Amino acid sequence: MAENVPLHLAGNNAPVAEEVTLEPAKVVGEIPAELSGQFFRNGPNPRTGWSPHSFASDGMIHTVALDGGRARWYRNRYVRTPLYENPGVSRFALAFDPETSRIDYRVTTANTHLIAHAGRLFALEEGGFPYEVTPDLATIGAYTFDGALRTPMTAHPKTCPITGELLFFGYRLRPPYLTYYRADAAGKVAQTRAIDMPRATMMHDFAVTRDHVIFLDLPVVFDAAQAAAGGPPWRWDDGHRARFGVLPRTAGDDAPVRWYDIAPCYVWHTMNAFEDPATGIITVTGTRVPSLWRGGPEDVGGGLPTLYRWTLDPRTGTVAEAPIDDAPSEFPRVADNAIGLPHRYGYTASFALEAEPERSEIYAYDLADGGVRAVHRFPAGHTCGEAVFVARDGTAENDGYLMTFVHDRATDRSYLAILNAADPAAPPLAEVHVPVRVPAGFHGNWIPA
């Protein structure tokens, strides 16, 4: 029977049934006393116990509150979306109004990420509006930036550490296929710009620099006929050119996007981007696969994601590209105060196709030294997720912590691991053991109190 369970519901990918609020079972090591706030992690957790794909599963947020060297509580809650409220009803049926042909972007799983902006917390998923939640994980509701958001919103917006602006985009299946937004530090949308695109392509992430945003137009295209026939909406298209589009962050409506052709690939996540003010050269890093779903939705023949670098030269219009590492990894992150700026360090989690890989590691890259990889290896049977960098007050870029939920297969329980980011190979500074299992998930953040 177990062998019939699909990968996205197997092992620690299986959903949990209960919403709980519990005190931690135990703490191993010492929680840094300066950490006061909450670690949040979003992820898929189908309410019915089944979904056709992790992307279609209801969003559940898990949080651990830390204060003064103590772990206060753990809590998990679903995001109360229309999909959660109507279990088993199709997303299309809930979202699409056949009378008006309108799509209701409140219909979303909200299962991908959690961010804070302008004093609000948002659960995000790229097919719909953000959902505002409270620190206690009560759902407030869909959020549209006072009506300024007219499209879905990416789950990977970027907060500029210099201006405090929230830079983001929305992509969708009908024109305009791509829309760029810039919200100020107070949360007011200051700019909306439709980007001319020939078709809808699946755009999970983007990148920003101090002065530009970079869109990833890659060969995973929307196929309406395939979707109407009950197949997956997205497919690889060898005929679609892979390209990065560079737009000045504050561009007016007439400023063109400058497109740079790159070798065909798919990039779920960028690590970061930055520009050289003297030459205008833009460096983009991210986790790359050479292809995705080329032979159908089960095809992973494109290989596993690895960390990669593209260098865009505006003087020639050309791109130099090369791998940084050949070890499979995903969920790249940098320090929040390095987003869009030249940076030395970046972090990923090892990647394997098993639900509970035998080896699970955090990689800390020193990019100034050619991409040297420091490794934190968790014990056998322990599986980690995305490593979130949490800054200390110090000035060094890597002065801080890495936080991730880890599942222990032997006990079927989970813990929040807190690593020293400057010494990632060392044992965790602390493990906050929660008395339940935290399923594998997508992205999250540390939000100071």
Binding-site residues for Fe cation, please? 156, 204, 269, 443
Bridge partners, residue 211, by sequence: none
Give the residue among 250, 279, 249, 403 at the shortest CA–CA distance from 340. Answer: 249
At 405, the amino acid letter reads: F
Sign, CA torsion 232/114/145/87: positive
Q: Which residues contact 428 (CB under 8 A, 6 or more apart)?
A: 28, 29, 417, 418, 419
Report the candidate in 157, 159, 41 with the shortest Cα–Cα distance to residue 444: 41
Give the start-end residues of each E strand in 93-174. 96-97, 102-103, 113-117, 120-124, 131-133, 139-142, 158-159, 166-171
Collapsed DSSP state (helix, strand, coil) of residue 258? strand
How far is Cα 357 from Cα 335, in angstroms, rounded to an integer?
A: 27
Phi, psi of 83 (to 5 degrees): -70, -40
Q: Determine how many CB atoms are found less than 10 A away from the CB of residue 108.
A: 29
Tokens of 391: 């800054």
Which residue carries 């420091």 as its tokens? 374
Q: Which two tokens stand for residue 247?
A: 């737009």
Find the angle CA(272)-CA(165)-CA(396) to the nearest 5 degrees: 50
Residues 6+ apart with CB under 8 A from 440: 11, 12, 13, 43, 355, 383, 385, 407
**CB-count exposure of residue 203 (10 Å: 0-12, 13-18, 19+):** buried
CA-wise closest residue to 287 among 344, 329, 338, 340: 329
Closest CA to 204 of 151, 157, 142: 157
Q: Are 66 and 390 in contact (CB under 8 A)?
A: no
Rounded distance, CA 349 to CA 290, Å? 19
- Cα four-point dihedral sign 174, 217, 312, 261: negative
